[in-house]
């Protein structure tokens, strides 16, 4: 565990340096993040750079889910696991990954970052995959939304070496989903997922809202924006 934290911190420090050197890079809302306790972090997903950018921008160490294909070679698997990533089978219901997330969130200070869209959605948010609302309900932990702007042109992991452009990472206020009596049905889970994605949409320009344009407008109106 000590080695993993050392590796995670080293990678994030290096990336933060390259972002500051080559980009117009800014993180907003760090003051919203609770210093202690488990958190479920959710963010929009525009490029392969998003996980390390969230890692470098978020003020607490986080674990991640990553598609299992990235773990195909031993060096890649060792790197990703040392960084805090866990493989996810995206073409099927991955109950092992689901259980892993719940195990991490059951730790006193466990933080896990999820990209609910499940795959990259450059420029426009797509419909989230099922599961994020269920994870939030089962874990019962606060949810921290993050909006990422400006990474949609980063098509390769190698851009970590020369990230250019304007990047904004906005961290929103933690929230919890409203509890319902008894197990939620499909419609309730869909509404909860829309709430999660709407809160993410609030943190990025409207041109990124895509499938959640209406949800973004609704939450903006609700919060008096």
Domain layout of the chain by residue ranges? 2-222
Q: What is the pLDDT of residue 221?
A: 55
Give the C-alpha separation, 213 to 197, whole Å: 10
Better-scored residue on pLDDT, 157 or 145: 145
CATH value of 2-222 in 3.90.1150.10, 3.40.1130.10, 3.30.460.10, 3.40.50.150: 3.40.1130.10
Strand order from edge to edge, sheet including 85-88: 23-28, 165-171, 143-149, 39-43, 111-114, 63-67, 85-88
Model's pTM, two decimal places? 0.90
Neighbours of 83 (CB within 10 A): 19
Neighbours of 101 (CB within 10 A): 24
pLDDT digits (tens, 9 = 90+) for 7-51: 888 888 888 888 888 888 999 999 999 999 999 999 999 988 899
Q: What's the first-to-final CA gap in the chain, in angstroms? A: 43
Give the C-alpha separation, 114 to 64, whole Å: 7
């Amino acid at each position: 565990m000590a080695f993993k934290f050392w590796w995670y911190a080293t990678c994030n420090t290096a990336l933060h340096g390259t972002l500051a050197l080559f980009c117009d890079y800014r993180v907003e809302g760090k003051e919203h993040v609770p210093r202690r306790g488990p958190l479920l972090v959710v963010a929009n997903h525009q490029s392969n750079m998003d996980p390390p950018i969230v890692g470098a921008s978020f003020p607490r160490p986080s674990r991640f889910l990553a598609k299992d294909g990235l773990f195909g070679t031993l060096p890649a698997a060792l790197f990703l696991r040392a960084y805090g990533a866990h493989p996810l089978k995206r073409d099927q219901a991955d109950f092992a990954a689901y259980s892993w997330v719940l195990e991490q969130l059951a730790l006193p200070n466990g933080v896990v970052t999820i990209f609910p869209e499940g795959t990259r959605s450059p420029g426009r948010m797509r419909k989230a995959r099922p599961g994020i609302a269920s994870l939030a309900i089962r874990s019962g932990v606060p949810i921290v939304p993050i909006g990422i702007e400006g990474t949609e042109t980063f098509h390769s992991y190698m851009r970590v070496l020369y990230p250019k452009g304007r990047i904004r990472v906005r961290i929103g206020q933690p929230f919890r989903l409203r509890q319902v009596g008894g197990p939620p049905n499909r419609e309730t889970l869909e509404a909860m997922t829309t709430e999660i994605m709407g809160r993410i949409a609030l943190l990025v320009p409207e041109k990124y809202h895509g499938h959640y344009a209406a949800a973004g407008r609704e939450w903006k109106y609700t919060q008096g924006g």
